[in-house]
Chain A
Amino acid sequence: MEPSPAAPPSTVAADEGDLLRRVRHHDLAAGDELVRRYHGRIYNLLYHMTSNREDAEDLTQDVFVKALSALHRFRGGSTFYTWLYRIALNHGINFLKKRGRREMMSLDGLDPAVEHDPFYVELRARESPVREASLGELQIRLNAALRKLSDKHRTVVVLHDIQGLPHEEIARMIRTSEGTVRSRLFYARRQLQQALKEFAP
């Protein structure tokens, strides 16, 4: 049941220490390199938390500007990747608290590869509403269901079920125990099951 991470956190290459040192000395090229390395994951995290691509883009900028400006406060107690994720999570949660539930969804496009996903293929083959629903409709339903979750439940679902991070890594990021992460996932999925009962068997 534990998914394999989409890309292992070991993107922290051996030369990352050197990059961080250069950024501390205000080397913009090194800053660009760090942004390139983590942009995709941070953008996706914020996008899945907000279900709004414009907000996610703005928040991604804010997170990187904040991280690069405050890099002198990064002591190396965790990996840079964990530290950056923590900034992004806090930033995203603060944003959602301020925004409330008033905004519209603005969704990213779907990669056509989804049509070959084994689970999607199986869903389509069943006598289920997925057979009739377009991919766009399914996407809207998934995002709407995710937005109904509380911040702490949405966070663990995004990090584990969508981004594929292991419980241990998530527990470190949100500073809680692995048992609490699994317990939150359990409750969140039960809520999602209610919201998506036509799709989830």
Chain B
Amino acid sequence: MKCPLGKEMYGLPETDPRYAEVQAHLRSCFMCRARWDDQEAVRQLIALKRYEQPAPGCEARTLAAIHTRVAAQWAAAGWWQDAQARWYAERFEPVRLALAAAAVLLLLGGGYYLVRPSGSSSPARPAPALALEDQRPLPHPDSPAPAATGLPPMLVAASNREPVRMDYGPGPSVPVKYDY
């Protein structure tokens, strides 16, 4: 038990599991015992105020005043507030529950939208496959140049890191790395 006792230990109710430990400490610690007794003495002194009694007729006066004021308020409010009061009392609870459920769903949906893996909004696009003519083995440097096809030169790049085959027109293809 910490000594001196913490402020929140003073006045622990007997039902508190720490109560027995505090009492054991108070039996062995003069300083904490004195402080405990001071607190108790002030409590008992101030509790004498409970003997103060309202003047006779106080309740009747208050009751009459409240009765008049509340009746006037209810009358002035008329049917509209009456209907509002009834609606709040009888119908608002289910509406409130439905609104709460909708808010929870909205939060869950919004939360999922925010935490979902990035880019999952559109399906992953596979890297473009090399055209069939680009998958053929590289020509031997001594092999004759392929015949001109008459087609315009075609550039294919699957990524800028891996060397890709590029055709410069009718001549032999050479691997080129775009790692800049």
Contacts and interface: CB of A to CB of B under 8 A. Distances in A.
A159 B132 CA distance: 88
A69 interface: yes
Contact of B45 (A21, A31, A60, A119): A119
A73 B88 contact: yes
A105 to B, nearest CB: 11
Interface in A98-130: 107-111, 113-114, 117, 119-120, 123
A40 B7 contact: no
A186 B14 CA distance: 17
B24 interface: no
B151 interface: no
Given A24-B89, A185-B11, A39 B55 contact: no
A115 to B, nearest CB: 9
Nearest to B90: A24
Contacts of B89: 21, 24-25, 72
B73 A65 contact: yes
Interface string B29-41: 0000000111111
A170 to B, nearest CB: 11
Contacts of A142: 45-46, 48-49
A2 B8 contact: no
Nearest to A1: B11
B52 A47 contact: yes
Interface residues of A, number: 72
Contact of B67 (A31, A120, A186): A31
A56 B52 CA distance: 13
Binding site of A, secondary structure by majority: helix, strand, loop or mixed? helix
Contacts of A164: 47, 50
Contacts of B74: 26, 28
Interface residues of B, number: 48
B58 A162 contact: no
B70 A68 contact: yes
Interface stretch (B78-86, B99-107, B160-168): B78-86
Contacts of A68: 66, 70
B44 A119 contact: yes
A84 interface: no
Interface stretch (A8-16, A89-97, A187-195): A187-195
Contact of A57 (B9, B41, B46, B58): B58
Given A24-B85, A28-B71, A161 B62 contact: no
Given A43-B58, A64-B70, A157-B46, 11 more contacts: A2-B12, A3-B47, A24-B88, A25-B86, A35-B66, A39-B59, A61-B66, A111-B53, A161-B47, A182-B12, A201-B38
7 contacts: A6-B50, A28-B71, A48-B49, A108-B53, A182-B8, A182-B10, A189-B42
